[in-house]
Amino acid sequence: MNLHAIRAIYRFEMARTMRTLMQSIASPVLSTSLYFIVFGAAIGSRMGEIDGTSYGAFIIPGLIMLSLLGESISNASFGIYMPKWTGTIYELLSAPVSWFEVVIGYVGAAASKSVILGLLILATARFFVDYEIAHPVWMFGFLLLTSVTFSLFGFIIGLWANDFQKLQVIPLLVITPLTFLGGAFYSISMLPPLWQKITLFNPVVYLISGFRWSFTGRADVHIAISTGMTFGFLLVCLAMVWWIFRSGWRLRN
């Protein structure tokens, strides 16, 4: 294991975050705070409880996931796309660094940013709503697992994209709608039976449900299924990255 290479990639990506704090950290926290003000404090105070939890506290996991998924994908995709765009990826490919070490460096940095962002949003929520975390260890574990998984997915998007516009297509047109329709602001048990079954085809449902379970102890989908689905997606992403580096697809274009 080339620890020096991993450390160099990781430190470079984390340094880029420090140069863009307003975009990487401050902007998502501010946007989520506005959601808390509107949905948590203003609208939530006029709504009843959901499964014994106030509406403001109920939407915290969904709002964190909304920011976490988008930022994980954006950070990782932009991180690997820039070397492709500038041509410096050829130096990376010719260096004595394995594909797995490259993934650890880039994905590790993107996941670290996402975890920090998620914890900052969680701390910010305390100013607007009261909440409890029933399973704090599970909460952090699920936060970390989701960050790593979707940072890896973003890494794939960065390898696939051949212009800056494509970097935004999937986060904006796929992930954000799936998050809104995946129970970020409601429980899927509130939907008609037919739509409950249709919603289960949305992979984001399992992420939000599992994360919400760590807060309230209740979930729309069993925690074991949520965790298994997330691990399954992680393995699929790893297999795709391995194939990309082995075949050279989109790396040498």
pLDDT in tens, 54-76: 888 898 999 999 999 988 999 99
Report the alpha-carbon distance of residue 77 to residue 151 in Å, rounded: 8
Q: Count CB atoms within 10 A of the CB of residue 251.
A: 16
Report the alpha-carbon distance of residue 32 to residue 36 in Å, rounded: 6
Produce one character per residue of 2-15: b if its CB has 16 or more CB atoms within 10 Å, e if not: beebbeebbeebee
Residue 50, strand partner residues? 53
User: Confidence band (pLDDT; 50, 70, 90) for 81?
Assistant: very high
Residue 53, strand partner residues? 50
pLDDT of residue 232: 94
Contact (CB, 8 A) for 56 and 128:
yes
pLDDT for 212 beyond 70: yes
Report the alpha-carbon distance of residue 226 to residue 219 in Å, rounded: 10
